[in-house]
């Protein structure tokens, strides 16, 4: 056997996750406070988990519909109508085996080999990798730091779209930057892209992860059957359900019809007992969890910011949403080396290089943890920065 | 909006499932005995389901490793070594979000747009559709009826492979035919394909669904790190776990490394609590279930055969494995119309046309049900055949 010439070249060239590489090698070390993954330290609310256990007890262990349980699709439509003003209803919802899986399915429905997908960076690395899995190309457009805040002027995004652009993926609120598209600009972006025949694929998994007092916004508010607009969401971040692998898509009906078949050929359906838990998360139990999570995240973020402010070589862009800080370390040009050094000091962070161009001088810190632990972790990080 | 020109053409052309189309329109009718899906009427063994509920109770609701829980990968390696003689071990196992998902992942690792995949037909329709999702082409090779038994001579299969063939997908025991590659031919097939640089992708989800007394066989017995051999399996059929969406791949390590990244970009991981149930299924509880399922399937199959023998226009190919009969109805040329008519008589079957060339004159009957119900259902079917 000589090399991997008999594998698909694109597949062999996919980058492994820099985040996972560091984390996997140091998993389970009790002396390391982990801020590296985009995941809360809280287990799912027991009342949500109980719905899955009860479903299993009733023997709900059979195939379900490709698009999801009607009860969950209805609950999702009502949830979105309750939180956002949207025309999207039951027939526009497809349940998926995670938000990630939803993104891949939508891309599978829209992009052919050779098509182009525009992705603002720094970005969650999967957004850049997934189009490549489909033999599409990716055009990156920079989100830049302007006066302490990440920004992506609409014109810059539109200028990045060329004749081969089929889709723009917009992750707002954004991982890792904490950037959020100003809600006032949403309508214009949808209209401009649609006019050019380009689909907007909005990754809104952080739509409910916002500082207290900030009203949630979503592209579903601009949904229209006749527009090229798709949103993807997930139960993972809003309701501490990362391990459940449950997400959903909101799309025009003609796209939902295609997605139904693509789901049949991917995972076929999400487990029914998992979907039962999702229904509970969308109700009062989930809203109560969101309220307490928001308060806890605020406390943790403020604690982190307070400690980071102690070190003048660290500048922290404003966090408009999601549960990350993405500080820039002056004079630091190897984020992987710094992240490795941080582990030795007892804190796990994600190197900025994992998030592509514009990330190299940064580290990503997930503050979805007990605020006292976050404070301690950031103190260890500041100590590490002072060592270099 | 004019048509679907802004969607991916291949995606819009994917056929909807003929099986699901008939079934969905008549789901939940208490007057119809459903033999249309490839699914047992038994819920998962409560001892298996309890492992998931207990995992949820322990708060195992976080991200897991892309390749699956080490405990499950170890259990899968030991299971395969126990049932089959195989060199494949822990490092060769990747856990996936269903057997279907496993097939798509392996194809994503092996085939580029324009590559060719060879699939014997009649086949489970997903085997033909999945390469198309990846912009690959499919070459069908017929499994033919010879003296009452389906057969696929190795030379015919090898002759179907051309210069663009990257993968042969072999589903043995096979859906819908009940065909099984003679175990004595396995080694030769692996060697011949490997010599030509072609991957063998064996879909073995029915490897434990065999008539009593028939020894299970698997291509993992011919596994070798330096050969182009991949097997896919699932918990769905062996342990009545269709709704769990849990499967696994056995592959050379160099392919497992690529799959680890492709899983990250598809569902990321199977839920940990689902995997805990899988571990229990692989142990004594699962073997006991298999023994009782085998006995029950034998009773149901014999009951079905007895009733089908009453009608001379029906000929039933021998069932070497899997839980389907695929009878041919003499003088019947529209299997969809017959399946629709059968619904009116209180039995749900899958039209043979759903399974591609060679299936038109057949119906697929899943006999994984209470034997008395199967007998009654087949009586209704025979009545329907006599009406046409």
Q: Which residues of chain B from 171 to 230 reach within 8 Å of chain A, CB to CB?
A: 197, 199, 226, 228
- pLDDT average, residue stretch A67-80: 98
The rounded distance, in Å, linking the Cα atoms of B231 and B109 is 14
Q: Are A135 and B113 inside 8 Å of each other by CB?
A: yes
**Cβ of residue B13 closer than 8 Å to a chain A Cβ:** no
- pLDDT average, residue stretch B325-343: 96
Q: Are A243 and B271 inside 8 Å of each other by CB?
A: yes
Q: How much is the pLDDT for B174? A: 97
- Identify whether the C-beta of residue A301 lies closer than 8 Å to the C-beta of residue A80: no
The rounded distance, in Å, linking the Cα atoms of B319 and A29 is 53
Rounded to the nearest angstrom, the minimum Cα separation between B383 and chain A is 29
For residue B178, the cross-strand partners are none
Residue A81 has pLDDT above 90, yes or no: yes
Which band of pLDDT confidence, cut at 50, 70 and 90, is reported for residue B18?
confident
Give the closest residue to B296 by CA, choosing from B206, B376, B217, B373.
Answer: B373
Residue A1 has pLDDT above 60, yes or no: no
A210-257 pLDDT, tens digit per residue, is 999 999 999 999 999 999 999 999 999 999 999 999 999 999 999 999
Residue A2 has pLDDT above 80, yes or no: no
The rounded distance, in Å, linking the Cα atoms of B381 and A158 is 60
**Cβ of residue A25 closer than 8 Å to a chain B Cβ:** no
Strand bridging mode A199-203 / A165-171: parallel
Interface test with B, best of A247, A271, A272 (most B CBs within 10 A): A271
Q: How much is the pLDDT for A21? A: 84
Q: Are A133 and B108 inside 8 Å of each other by CB?
A: yes
Q: Are B111 and A57 inside 8 Å of each other by CB?
A: no
* A212, burial (CB in 10 Å: exposed 0-12, middle 13-18, buried 19+): exposed
Q: Which residues of chain B from 39 to 58 reach within 8 Å of chain A, CB to CB?
A: 39, 43-44, 49-50, 52-53, 56-57
Rounded to the nearest angstrom, the minimum Cα separation between A184 and chain B is 26
- pLDDT average, residue stretch A356-373: 97
* B100, burial (CB in 10 Å: exposed 0-12, middle 13-18, buried 19+): buried
**Cβ of residue A267 closer than 8 Å to a chain B Cβ:** yes
- pLDDT average, residue stretch A98-115: 97
What are the backbone dihedrals phi and psi of residue A315, each rounded to the nearest 5 degrees, phi first? -115, 140
Q: Which of B39, B52, B268 sits opposite A63 (nearest CB)?
A: B39
A5-54 pLDDT, tens digit per residue, is 999 999 999 988 888 888 888 877 899 999 999 999 999 999 999 999 99
Rounded to the nearest angstrom, the minimum Cα separation between B286 and chain A is 15
Q: Which CATH number fits domain B61-283: 3.40.640.10, 3.30.300.180, 3.40.50.300, 3.40.50.1390?
A: 3.40.640.10
Q: Which fold has domain A9-44+286-387?
A: 3.90.1150
**Cβ of residue A249 closer than 8 Å to a chain B Cβ:** no
Q: How much is the pLDDT for B17? A: 83
B128-179 pLDDT, tens digit per residue, is 999 999 999 999 999 999 999 999 999 999 999 999 999 999 999 999 999 9
Percentage above 70 pLDDT, chain A: 99
- pLDDT average, residue stretch A274-293: 98
Spell out the alpha helix ranges (H) of A265-388. Answer: 272-281, 284-308, 335-344, 371-387
Among chain A residues, CA nearest to B268: A100
Interface test with A, best of B4, B60, B266, B350 (most A CBs within 10 A): B266
Interface test with A, best of B27, B62, B228, B259 (most A CBs within 10 A): B62
Q: Which residues of chain B from 66 to 105 reach within 8 Å of chain A, CB to CB?
A: 66, 97-98, 100-101, 104
Residue A323 has pLDDT above 80, yes or no: yes
The rounded distance, in Å, linking the Cα atoms of B322 and B177 is 9
- Chain B residue numbers with beta carbons less than 8 Å from the beta carbon of A60 are 43, 243
pLDDT, averaged across chain B:
96
Q: Read off the tokens for B99.
A: 């057997």
The rounded distance, in Å, linking the Cα atoms of B166 and A5 is 11
Residue A263 has pLDDT above 80, yes or no: yes
- pLDDT average, residue stretch B88-114: 98
The ranges assigned to domains in chain A are 9-44+286-387, 62-283
Torsion of CA B351, B356, B362, B368, to 10 degrees: -60
Rounded to the nearest angstrom, the minimum Cα separation between A148 and chain B is 32
**Cβ of residue B10 closer than 8 Å to a chain A Cβ:** yes
Rounded to the nearest angstrom, the minimum Cα separation between B37 and chain A is 9
Q: Are B258 and A14 inside 8 Å of each other by CB?
A: yes
Q: How much is the pLDDT for B2? A: 55
Give the closest residue to B130 by CA, choosing from A233, A267, A28, A301.
Answer: A267
* A13, burial (CB in 10 Å: exposed 0-12, middle 13-18, buried 19+): exposed
Q: Are A61 and B52 inside 8 Å of each other by CB?
A: no
Rounded to the nearest angstrom, the minimum Cα separation between B388 and chain A is 32
For residue B14, say if its preceding peptide bond is cis, omega within 30 degrees of 0: no
Which band of pLDDT confidence, cut at 50, 70 and 90, is reported for residue A118?
very high
The CATH-assigned architecture of domain A62-283 is 3-Layer(aba) Sandwich (3.40)
Give the closest residue to B99 by CA, choosing from B316, B245, B261.
Answer: B245
Q: Which residues of chain B from 117 to 136 reach within 8 Å of chain A, CB to CB?
A: 126, 129-130, 133, 135
A140-168 pLDDT, tens digit per residue, is 999 999 999 999 999 999 999 999 999 99
Give the closest residue to B127 by CA, choosing from B185, B195, B202.
Answer: B202
Percentage above 70 pLDDT, chain B: 99
- pLDDT average, residue stretch B77-94: 97
The rounded distance, in Å, linking the Cα atoms of A366 and A40 is 8
Q: Are B43 and A59 inside 8 Å of each other by CB?
A: yes
């Amino acid at each position: 056997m000589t090399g991997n010439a008999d594998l698909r070249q694109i597949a062999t060239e996919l980058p492994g996750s820099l985040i996972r590489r560091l984390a996997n090698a140091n998993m389970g070390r009790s002396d390391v406070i982990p801020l590296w993954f985009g995941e809360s330290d809280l287990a799912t609310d027991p009342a949500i988990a109980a719905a899955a256990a009860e479903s299993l007890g009733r023997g709900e262990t059979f195939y379900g519909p490709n698009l999801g349980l009607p009860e969950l699709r209805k609950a999702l439509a009502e949830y979105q109508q309750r939180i956002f003003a949207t025309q999207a209803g039951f027939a526009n919802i497809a349940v998926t085996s995670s938000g990630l899986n939803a993104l891949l399915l939508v891309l599978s429905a829209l992009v052919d080999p050779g098509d182009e997908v525009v992705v603002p960076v720094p970005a969650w690395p999967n957004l850049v990798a997934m189009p490549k899995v489909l033999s599409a190309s990716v055009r990156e457009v920079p989100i830049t730091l302007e006066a302490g805040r990440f920004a992506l002027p609409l014109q810059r995004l539109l200028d990045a779209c060329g004749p081969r652009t089929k889709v723009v993926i917009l992750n707002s609120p954004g991982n890792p930057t904490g950037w959020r598209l100003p809600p006032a600009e949403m309508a214009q972006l949808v209209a401009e892209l649609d006019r050019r025949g380009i689909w907007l694929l909005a990754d809104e998994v952080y739509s409910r992860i916002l500082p207290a007092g900030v009203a949630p916004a979503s592209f579903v508010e601009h949904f229209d059957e006749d527009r090229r607009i798709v949103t993807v969401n997930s139960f993972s971040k809003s309701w501490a359900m990362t391990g459940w692998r449950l997400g959903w898509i909101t799309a025009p009906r003609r796209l939902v019809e295609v997605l139904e078949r693509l789901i049949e050929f991917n995972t076929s359906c999400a487990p029914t007992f998992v979907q039962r838990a999702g229904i509970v998360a969308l109700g009062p139990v989930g809203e109560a969890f969101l309220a307490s999570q928001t308060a806890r995240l605020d406390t943790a973020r403020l604690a982190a910011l307070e400690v980071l402010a102690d070190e003048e070589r660290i500048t922290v862009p404003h966090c408009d949403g999601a549960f990350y800080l993405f500080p820039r370390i002056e004079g630091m040009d190897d984020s992987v080396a710094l992240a490795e050094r941080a582990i030795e000091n007892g804190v796990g962070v994600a190197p900025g290089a994992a998030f592509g161009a514009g990330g190299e001088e940064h580290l990503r810190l997930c503050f979805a943890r007990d605020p006292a632990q976050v404070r301690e972790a950031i103190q260890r990080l500041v100590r590490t920065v002072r060592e270099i």
